[in-house]
Amino acid sequence: MDDDRHDRGVRRRLTAAGVIAASFLALTPGVAHAEPTADEVREEIERLEQEFSELNEAYNKAKEEHEAAREKLEEINEDLAETEEEVEGLQESIRLLAGTAYSGVDYNSLVYLIGSDNPDDLLVQSADLNYLSASQQGRLDRYTEQREKLEQLREEAEETEQEAQAKLDEAEEAREEGEEKIAEQEALLDDLTADEQAAATAGINTVSSSTSGTTYNGPATGDARVALEFAFNQIGKPYIWGGTGPNGYDCSGLTQAAWAAAGVSLPRVSQDQFYAGQRVSWDNIQAGDLLFFYNSTAPTHVGMATGDGRMVHASTSSKPIGVVELTSYYRQNFVGAVRP
């Protein structure tokens, strides 16, 4: 299965340039082999940037659901082991009960009591045997109940394992598609001059990205400053799918870790972080605020305002963690800010 996914990913990347070329030919009907303009490339790259963020969010959601399914499976397997152990213990009692029934002796029968040398003693024993019979019936009922539970647990374990694998497959598919978007971006930019490339990526370009972190010198105070100092320390580290540190991060992994450094707990994914604080408008953004983009009800990208018209974020796997200007591109795609 892994080999199949890899082969699909390779085929996608190999055809990415062809797909993009065909799409741009469609933009200019009647003109053979028309080269896309820098503006057309910019629009396409911005679209791919959004699609990448959506796939990253889908990846994180699927990974979360996979992890939840795995944890559920562990609990089921623990319960399954305990139930199997109890059933094995009950089986011996049930075999003894079956053996007694097979012998055909009725210790409570009148004939057995009359023929006995000491009927009074046997009456006492009979009362004990009645108790034992009730106890045996209880064990039989318990055995039947636990056998049924055992079968249910085995079925639930199998279904949960299949669910976990399905979510993992979903995550891998999203990752592969996201990498395809990056390959498409690179194919677009390869045919442009350096100036055209700069113009095409001006709205989303990183303006600060050292290789070993940097120092935050902005206006933030308190917890926001602690969070931003942490985030600036990560600048230059790679974007990693599902990354929560310390070697790399994705967008929500970075914001979660940054605010955790300040003692504030945030959910894992950007869609959940969007509801994890006080909502603020674009005009009231302060340093440390979380900035969300692309979908008004379920944002797929998040960064952190630095307080000087920029933000620090982990954007895509084609770029390291860095600082970007809050250009018109981000303003147009802005859906809300949250102050943790």
Out of 6, 33, 66, 313, the active site residue is 313
What the block records as the tokens of 26 is 């469609």
269-272 long-range contacts, Cβ below 8 Å, gap at least 24?
Answer: 269/57, 269/60, 269/61, 269/64, 270/57, 270/299, 270/300, 270/301, 270/302, 271/57, 271/61, 271/298, 271/299, 271/300
User: DSSP assignment, residue 275?
Assistant: T
Catalytic residue flag (residue 6): no
> Would you tell me how many other CB atoms lie within 10 Å of the CB of residue 287?
20
CA 144 to mean position of chain CA atoms: 39
Catalytic residue flag (residue 313): yes
Return d(Cα 28, Cα 167) in angstroms, integer.
41
Nearest partner of 311 among 337, 279, 277, 278, judged by Cα: 337
What the block records as the tokens of 67 is 């992890």
Out of 6, 33, 66, 251, the active site residue is 251
**Strand, coil or helix: 176:** helix
Name the H helices within the chain: 2-27, 38-103, 110-114, 119-190, 194-200, 222-233, 251-261, 270-273, 328-333
Catalytic residue flag (residue 33): no
Q: Is 286 exposed, middle or buried (0-12, 13-18, 19+ CB in 10 A)?
A: middle
- Starting at the earlier edge strand, list the strands of the sheet with 301-305: 206-208, 322-325, 310-313, 301-305, 290-293, 334-339, 278-280
Spatial contact of 149 and 103, defined as CB atoms under 8 Å apart: no
Give the active site residues.
251, 301, 313
